[in-house]
Structure 1
Amino acid sequence: MKKLIYIVFVYATIGTITISCGDSKKKETEEITIEDKELPAEERAEKALYDEVMAIHDDVMPQMDNMMKLKGELQVKLDMAREKEEATEETLRALEAGIKKLEEADEAMMQWMRDFEGQDNVEDHEQVMNYYTTQKAEIEKVRKMMLSAMKNARHQLQSIE
C-alpha cells in the first residue's frame, strides 16, 4: 500500500511540474509575441533573421559531443590498427582523414562562435540584415561540415568492424 501511495505521489508530482512548466513556456511565448508586435518592422525582421541563425546554431551545437565521441572511436581504431600492423596504408590514411575532418568541423564551429557578434547596437538596418544573412550562410556551412564529417566517421567505423 505504501508503494502504491508513493507511486501515485511521484506521478502526481511529475504531472504538476510538467503542467506548470508548460504554462510558463506558453506565457513566455505569448509575452514574446506581444513584445514583437510592438517592435518596428525593421527590428522584427532583424530579430527574425537573428533567430534563424541561432536556431541553426542551437540545432548543431549539441552534435559537438557526438563529433568528439566519433573522433575518439576513430582514434582508437587508428591506434589499434597501427599496433597490430594489420591495416593497409589506405585504411590508416582514411582513419586519419576522418579524424582530421572532425577536428576541422569542430574548429569551424568554435571559430564561428568566436566571430559571431550580436548586432544590438548597430543602427543601420541594411548592415544588420547583411551581417545576419552572411552569418546564416556561415553557420549553414559549419552545419554541413559537421554532418558530413560525422557521416564519414560513422561509415568508417562500420566498414572497419
Structure 2
Amino acid sequence: MKKLLILLALPVTILYSCKPGSSEAEQKTELENHVMAVHDSAMAEMDQIFKLRRNLNALHDTLAAQQTDSATLQLLQQNINALNNADEHMMGWMRNYSAPDSLQHQQAMEYLQQELQKIERVKTTMDSTIQAARQTYQQHEPTN
C-alpha cells in the first residue's frame, strides 16, 4: 500500500508543481515543502525508533541472562541493528540534504525530485523497520 502511495505521489507532485499559472519560484517552493513534509513525517517516528531500540536492548539483555535460545537473541539483535540502520539512513539524508537555493530552476526541480525519492525511501524503511521491531518485541516481551 505504501509503495502504491509513493508511486502515485511522484506523478501527482510533478503535475501539481507544474500547474499553469505557477511561477517557477512557487513550483520550487511547493516541491521543497513536499520534501520537507515527508521528512517531518519521518522525523516524528524517530521517537518510536529510540523507544523500540531501548526496549529490544533491555529484552535482549534479560533473555541473554536467562540463557534463552540463540535464535531468539539473534532475531532481537537483527531488529536492533535494523533500527540503528533506519536511524542512520535518516541522519545521513539530513546530513546530505541542502536547500537548492543556488541552483537554476530546472536543476533545483530535478534535485528536489531526487531528494523526494530518497526521503520517501527512508520513510518506507523506517516504517517497515518499526513495524517488524514492534512485532518482534510483542512476541517476546516479558509478561508481568
- Residue 58 of structure 1 and its aligned partner are, at CA, apart by 0.8
Among candidates 74, 79, 85, match of residue 104 of structure 1: 85
In the alignment, does 2:38 pair up with 1:56? Answer: yes
Paired position in structure 2 for 1:93: 74
Q: Deviations over 1:96-153 (max 9, x none)?
A: 000000000000000100000001122x211101100000000001101111111011
Runs of 4+ in 1 over 4 A off after TM superposition: none
Q: How many residues align?
A: 121
Q: CA RMSD in A?
A: 1.3
Q: Deviations over 1:51-98 (max 9, x none)?
A: 10000011110211110000000001100111010x222111110000
Among candidates 25, 43, 68, match of residue 25 of structure 2: 43
TM-score for the superposition, normalised by structure 2: 0.81
Percent of residue pairs identical = 34
- Residue 40 of structure 1 and its aligned partner are, at CA, apart by 6.4
- Residue 43 of structure 1 and its aligned partner are, at CA, apart by 1.1
Q: Which has the larger helix fraction?
A: 1
Among candidates 55, 71, 81, match of residue 63 of structure 2: 81
SS in 2 for 1:81: helix
Paired position in structure 2 for 1:114: 95
Paired position in structure 1 for 2:129: 149
SS in 2 for 1:158: helix
Rg bigger for which structure? Answer: 1
TM-score for the superposition, normalised by structure 1: 0.72
Paired position in structure 2 for 1:159: 139
SS in 1 for 2:54: helix
Q: Which runs of 5+ in 2 are unaligned?
A: 1-20
- Judge which range, 40-49 or 139-148, deviates more: 40-49
2:22 & 2:74 partners in 1: Cα distance? 55
